[in-house]
Amino acid sequence: MQQLSPAEAALVAAIDPAPMLAQVEAWSAINTGTGNLGGLAEQTALLAEAFAALPGEIEPAEPAQVETVAPDGSLVAGAHGRHLVVRVRPMAPRRLLLTGHMDTVFAADHPFQTPTRLDEATLNGPGTADMKGGIAVILAALRAFEASPAAAQVGYDVMINSDEETGSLSSAALIAELARGKAAALTYEPSALPDGTLAGARGGSGNFSAVIAGRAAHAGRNPGWGRNAVVAASDLALRLKAMESAGLTINPARIDGGGANNVVPDHAVLRFNIRPRGSADAERFDRATYGIISEIEAEHEVKVHLHGGITRPPKPLTPAAEQLFGLVRDAGAALGQPIAWQTSGGVCDGNNIAACGVPVVDTMGVRGGAIHSSDEYTARRSPPSSPARPPRLPEPMKRISTNCLSSFWKTSKLPNSAGPRNCSRASARRGRSTAIAWRR
């Protein structure tokens, strides 16, 4: 049975859950939908104020330029909020990365805007679990850690991005830069299951837009002259779907295009998402897609231009990652919290960090559930029929923050990774996929 040392027990005892909860409630009341730049700026200012409690430098990071494909097939520059980076002891011999995101999936005009205490065990509100609760955990754990003598030997960067919910396209390069040379990383997404089970291995994810150019014609007078882009897009969707296997799912999600009923449509945009389980599945997709697009171009006499790529590479459970999960499990055991993990079909910034060769546990945040819905909550929800008295609201947050602290304490004893695997591997993959450009 693992036990806390007296020094660890003293650090844990100093964590006060009440201000953490108040923070989450206040932050949840600010709308930070990924597209709400005003709300994100307001949230960034509050986070900078809160993280000023730590030593080190706080700096906003400009979002990278990201182009998206409009329904007419043209490329438009997307607007993103700034990200926040806190750097503490950058010259320390051991350095760690902690990450979270301030954005939520709820846009400024979504009806779900206000946090509500449902009962003494449950706080409902936008981002309470995913993942403003996790940001409060990061801060509380680091403040406690800073009081320990071990802190002098450990440096860390904290990165809170503003675009995780749309795939971290404007923060991917920043994440890769910050991951470089770190011993380990912890990301504060909510637990995979409400009981605290963590996400272990993750598959990858890629988003694509196939822009198809055909030829317009009168649908009655000379339909044979037309090259129907909507039909070609539909055929492409069917062929992509037929490529699915146990290690690769493909979701054709939307087709834009066409116009009047009496015109053969000359343009269409097919959008689809892929979920490769491992890198071999991702490579198989790359190869097969090349052939399928060539077939569509030849058979429908259209031009296809494929945009996008795999922006979340698959995250296998490497030996280094297993070691890090082991530390988190041991920290949990010392606190009386059994910690387990399971494979997840979801993706997050942990995928990008792992692609840099840095071990990461990416569900270190609060317990909660119903994320991405108006029922999102944090803290432990008692079963309605439970005869046991429901726990007081702050307790689950305290338990998870103490686990985080304890894990952080143990992680801080890890040596730095032998040398960063080339962080650009993920971006190289992205580049290659994006470069599948077919306009001729």
Between residue 98 and residue 117, which ones bind Zn ion under the rule CB under 5 A? Answer: none
Structure token pair of residue 340? 């387990």
83: helix, strand or coil = strand
Give the nearest distance from C-beta 317 to Zn ion in angstroms.
20
CB neighbours of 103 closer than 8 A, spacing ≥ 6? Answer: 32, 33, 34, 40, 81, 161, 162, 163, 164, 165, 166
| Alpha helices in 243-362, H assignment, sequence order | 279-300, 319-334, 349-354
- Minimum CB separation from Zn ion for residue 103, in Å? 8
Each residue 330-349 as x (binds Zn ion by CB under 5 A) or -, in order, gives --------------------
Of 129 and 358, which CB lies nearer to Zn ion in the complex structure?
A: 129
Cβ 377 to Zn ion, closest distance in Å? 14
Which range of residues in 116-124, 130-138, 142-150, 387-395 is near Zn ion by CB under 5 A?
Answer: 130-138
The phi, psi pair for 217, rounded to 5°, reads: -160, 160
Q: What is the DSSP secondary structure assignment for residue 209, as one 8-state letter? A: E
Site membership for Zn ion, residue 30 (CB under 5 A): no
**Beta carbon nearer to Zn ion, 130 or 157:** 130
Considering the rule CB under 5 A, would residue 131 count as an interface residue with Zn ion? Answer: yes
Question: Which of 251, 232, 228 has the alpha carbon at shortest distance from 345?
Answer: 251
Instruction: Report the run of H or E that residue 159 belongs to, with start and end.
Output: strand 154-161
- CB of residue 71 vs Zn ion: minimum separation in angstroms? 27
Q: Which amino acid is at 166?
A: T
Phi and psi torsions of 336, nearest 5°: 75, 20
Minimum CB–partner distance for residue 188 and Zn ion (Å): 9
For Zn ion, the closer CB: 252 or 350? 350
**Shortest reach from residue 308's CB to Zn ion, in Å:** 21
Options 125-133, 176-184, 377-385, 427-435: segment touching Zn ion (CB under 5 A): 125-133
Q: Which is nearer to Zn ion, 188 or 409 (CB)?
A: 188
Decide: is 324 part of the binding site for Zn ion (CB under 5 A): no
Least distance in angstroms from the C-beta of 170 to Zn ion: 16
Segment lying near Zn ion (by CB under 5 A), choices 102-110, 185-193, 282-290, 307-315: 185-193
Q: Closest approach of Cβ 241 to Zn ion, in Å? A: 28
Of residues 129 and 140, the one with the C-beta less far from Zn ion? 129
Binding-site residue total for Zn ion (CB under 5 A)?
A: 3
Strands of 1-133, DSSP E: 57-61, 66-69, 75-78, 83-88, 94-101, 116-119, 122-124
Q: Which CB, 199 or 331, lies closer to Zn ion? A: 199
Stretch that binds Zn ion, among 75-83, 107-115, 189-197, 221-229 (CB under 5 A): 189-197
Q: How far is the CB of 265 from Zn ion (least distance, A)?
A: 38
- Beta strands, E only, 228-316: 248-257, 263-264, 267-276, 303-312
The one among 8, 25, 130, 281 contacting Zn ion by CB under 5 A: 130
Contact (CB, 8 A) for 117 and 176: no
Is residue 115 within 8 A of residue 126, CB to CB? The reply is yes
Question: What is d(CA 298, CA 440) in angstroms, rounded to the nearest whole number?
Answer: 12
Q: Which is nearer to Zn ion, 131 or 174 (CB)?
A: 131
Alpha-carbon distance of 125 to 105, in angstroms, equals 12
Q: Kindly indicate which of the ranges 24-32, 47-55, 182-190, 420-428 contains the residues binding Zn ion, using the contact rule CB under 5 A.
A: 182-190
> Under DSSP, is residue 414 helix (H, G, I), strand (E, B) or coil?
coil
Pairing of strands 57-61, 263-264: unpaired
- CB nearer to Zn ion: give 190 or 309: 190
Residue nearest to Zn ion (CB): 130
Q: Which residues bind Zn ion (CB under 5 A)?
A: 130-131, 189
